[in-house]
A and B are shown apart, each in its own frame.
Chain A
Amino acid sequence: MNAIIELFSYDFFQKAFLAAVFASISCGIIGAYIVSRRIVFISGGITHASFGGIGLAFFLGFNPLLGAVLFAVLSALGIQFFTKVAEIREDSSIAIWWSLGMALGIIFVFLTPGYTPNLMSYLFGNILTVTTSELWWMFMLNSVIVLFFAVFLRKILYIAFDEEFARTAGLPVALFNYLIMVLIALTVVLNIRVVGIILILSLLTIPQATANLFTNDFKRLLVYSSLFAFVGTIAGLFISYFLNIPSGAAIIFTLVIIFGILRLVKTFV
């Protein structure tokens, strides 16, 4: 116990703790929406495409998160464009953007002279190295997400559940879909530092699956998902520190274990 209390006196650990809180709230809420709407695969595409932006940023020497945001939003629009205008099947156009982003990322990183030390932390995340400015960005994103969902919860729910009916009810369906797509892109990018590009889908789906064991009410799902994400992230953080294993992987592993145990408990109790 003392060891844990002592940990909180370290600056890097305080930051990691805050990052865990912010990641849990944003991924909990946005993930619940993604899972409910069955757009997990699109989110995966956007996430991986953002690697292209990180590579470009390394190559040209600007902030990698900025590059990631750029590519995330571009790929979100690109997937829409491929599907709606170019009439390519949706799952195929997602896969195209998914792999195109990764490929560009690899090319740019390869072309960048010298060693790129942070690359691994973008792919697999490292919550222990999150910086203060990244925390501020995460804080702002969390504020926007919480506010947006608090104010428009019913509209978001109705549109997500039955888009056509929502249109007949006069709701601004296209606007909401667009806004939430942007929030998804931002959530993915700003949480890359916590669990990494390759693992972020887990924070958007596993806590939600766990929450879904206990509720079928959309509002509760948002809250429970954030709580389960928080428990898993914090537990994973400690495990990562004490066993000296990578934090992203430890977090995901913890999330899955929690889900598995509760799923079994639900079956047998």
Chain B
Amino acid sequence: MDPLIKIENLTVAYDKVPVLENVDLEIRENDFLGVIGPNGGGKTTLLKAILGLKRPESGKIHFSKEMSGRKKPIGYLPQVRHIDRKFPITVFDVVLSGGIMQNRQNAKSIAKDKAEALLEEMGVAGIRNKAIGELSGGQMQRVFLCRALLSDPKLLILDEPDTFVDNRFEGELYEKLEKLNEELAILLVSHDVGTITSCVKSIACVNKYLHYHPSNVISQEQLANYNCPIQIISHGEIPHTVLKHHHH
């Protein structure tokens, strides 16, 4: 089976300053990849390159046959901090914006039914007519997750879905993602190493370069080596911090 996405030797730069250099990565069906790294390390840039929002300096991103086309089957949940919360738009319209390009017949009514079902599933059907500015952080993330899922993606890309949310929602979110992962591949960016490693299957550490770990076990030494986030120290009690020999 071809990987959904195969990234080869990718370099992405802003104003000629490389943010990502010589990155190789494969994303396969049913992958659940956690992307961690310090702020400014290139996590979001990697997502933007995959999503076609940022043109790479060099290198290639291959998409498998089912992933090609103008509208790729990728569901995207951007960082909510970039959302204008005063924008006059209702929750239902936000969710509907996830599936506009479907070229099926009755695309509109299909999208509406799907949006209703997703809101129901996420437990936010009651707020469908609210303005997004009225939502709590957790509700907001749920709504944006609904939007990302509307187009039946094969790959779900989430950029820090754990910002502005309480612990209870975070737990629920990761449960939901594990369930979704039975159907689709997930790429999850987080600055919080603690929570991420408990649910993902593999980890990519991004700090200009990308280091791939085929399991969700990653040691503090490894993190230190990549200059990866220090937050792990504040999560010292988490069970996954198994020390493993480092090969670099």
Contacts and interface: CB of A to CB of B under 8 A. Distances in A.
Do the two chains belong together in a single complex? Answer: yes
Nearest to A172: B70
Given A162-B83, A164-B78, A216-B133, A169 B98 contact: yes
A77 interface: no
A171 B100 contact: yes
Interface in B112-161: 130-131, 133-134, 147, 151
Contact of B97 (A158, A215, A216): A158
Interface residues of B, number: 30
A74 to B, nearest CB: 28
B32 interface: no
Contacts of B100: 154-155, 158, 169, 171
A164 B72 CA distance: 14
A241 B104 CA distance: 56
B96 interface: yes
B151 A218 contact: no
A154 B100 CA distance: 8
Contacts of B99: 169
B22 to A, nearest CB: 25
Interface string A201-228: 0000000000010011110010000000
Contacts of B84: 38, 161
A168 interface: yes
B214 interface: no
A40 interface: no
Interface string B86-107: 0111100110111111000000
A204 to B, nearest CB: 15
**Of listed A158, A160, A162, residue having the most chain B CB within 10 A:** A162
Given A161-B84, A162-B83, A168-B76, A218 B89 contact: yes
Contact of A169 (B133, B134, B151): B151
B93 A169 contact: no
Contacts of A167: 51-53
Interface in A139-181: 154-155, 157-158, 160-162, 164-171
B74 interface: yes
Nearest to B99: A169
Contacts of B53: 164, 167-168
**Of listed B71, B89, B93, residue having the most chain A CB within 10 A:** B89
Contacts of A32: 88
Interface string B23-56: 0000000000000000000000000000111000
Interface string B60-92: 000000000011101010100011100111100
A165 B89 CA distance: 15
A36 interface: yes
A171 B151 CA distance: 14
Contacts of B76: 165, 168
B101 A170 contact: yes
A212 B87 CA distance: 10
A157 B51 contact: no
Given A216-B88, A216-B89, A218-B89, A170 B97 contact: no
A168 B89 CA distance: 19
B94 A168 contact: no
A165 B93 CA distance: 14
Interface string A16-38: 00000000000000001000101
B85 to A, nearest CB: 11
Contact of A36 (B71, B88, B98): B88
9 contacts: A158-B97, A162-B83, A166-B97, A167-B51, A168-B74, A169-B98, A170-B70, A170-B71, A216-B134
Given A216-B88, A217-B90, 11 more contacts: A154-B96, A154-B97, A160-B87, A165-B76, A167-B51, A169-B100, A170-B101, A215-B88, A216-B89, A216-B133, A217-B131
Interface of B: 51-53, 70-72, 74, 76, 78, 82-84, 87-90, 93-94, 96-101, 130-131, 133-134, 147, 151
Listed from nearest, the 7 A-B pairs whose CB atoms lie closest are: A216-B131, A170-B71, A158-B97, A216-B88, A170-B70, A170-B101, A168-B51
